Amino acid sequence: MSQPAIEAKNLYKRYGEVVAVEDVSLSVAPGEVLGLLGANGAGKTTTIELIAGLRKPDRGTVRVLGHDPQRERAAVRRLLGVQLQEATLHGALTVAELLGLYRSFYPDPRPAAELLDLVDLREQAKTRFERLSGGQQQRLSIALALVGRPRVVILDELTTGLDPRARRRIWAGVEALADETVLLVSHAMDEVERLCDRVVLLDAGRIVAQGAPAGLVAQTGTGSLEEAFVALTGRELTPEEAA
């Protein structure tokens, strides 16, 4: 079997009294799109921060294509592209300038035109970041995560708060990533059902189920992933979370 793109074993992380992630183990195969699904506070962001090496686990191990993100930072930075919630970018710079800046960080960056096409921002190339709509800013943050041709991409809260058209455009961009391994954090069931090969369901820091979206629906005898989520966690997503 080929080496997993991401392998996390027995991750544990607490903030003071709060155990954010408890004994989380997951593996993502090369080329797979894995969804990390859970209600607010389930531990999704902490899990991906541990995987990306942005936080150190209290216990447990992470490997990204065989590399430890804590000890082999440079190697992991080359392999991994991360789009995080609420990326803060310099508002006065244009889309083209921001892409140029990020491209300068990598030895073999994707061409700017390819990135603009991928996230459908060609017409906004000369627009300042602060003038972009929320959806356009989100799309730019995805393009920036892809500049260095990462083999593994982490996308956090991809389309939260965006209108249906903007969401569909972003989904098309993710579907165009044919070779990359993607770890997608979401609480939007439609997004996960459309994009993900497999889902890991987190609740209160623990994995409560995992499998293909259709498999989780079948396993719970429900009619949709949303109903399966409720059956497996005992929680309803609030309208805000489901947005």
Ligand X SMILES: Nc1ncnc2c1ncn2[C@@H]1O[C@H](COP(=O)(O)OP(=O)(O)OP(=O)(O)O)[C@@H](O)[C@H]1O
Question: Rule CB under 6 A: which residues touch ligand X?
Answer: 15, 18, 20, 38, 40-46, 187
Supply the minimum distance, in Å, between the C-beta of residue 38 and ligand X: 5
Q: Are strands 198-203 and 206-211 parallel, antiparallel or unpaired?
A: antiparallel
Supply the minimum distance, in Å, between the C-beta of residue 14 and ligand X: 8
Pick between residue 110 and residue 187 the one whose CB is nearest to ligand X.
187
Supply the minimum distance, in Å, between the C-beta of residue 44 and ligand X: 3
Pick between residue 118 and residue 157 the one whose CB is nearest to ligand X.
157
Supply the minimum distance, in Å, between the C-beta of residue 21 and ligand X: 7
Rounded distance between C-alpha atoms, residue 66 and residue 76, angstroms:
9
Supply the minimum distance, in Å, between the C-beta of residue 40 and ligand X: 4
Pick between residue 44 and residue 198 the one whose CB is nearest to ligand X.
44
Measured N-to-C along each axis, helices 164-175 and 134-146 cross at an angle, to the nearest 10 degrees, of 10
Pick between residue 46 and residue 141 the one whose CB is nearest to ligand X.
46
Pick between residue 112 and residue 183 the one whose CB is nearest to ligand X.
183
What's the burial of 211, exposed, middle or buried (CB within 10 Å: 0-12/13-18/19+)? Answer: middle
Supply the minimum distance, in Å, between the C-beta of residue 85 and ligand X: 7
Pick between residue 124 and residue 159 the one whose CB is nearest to ligand X.
159
Token output for 218: 């079948």
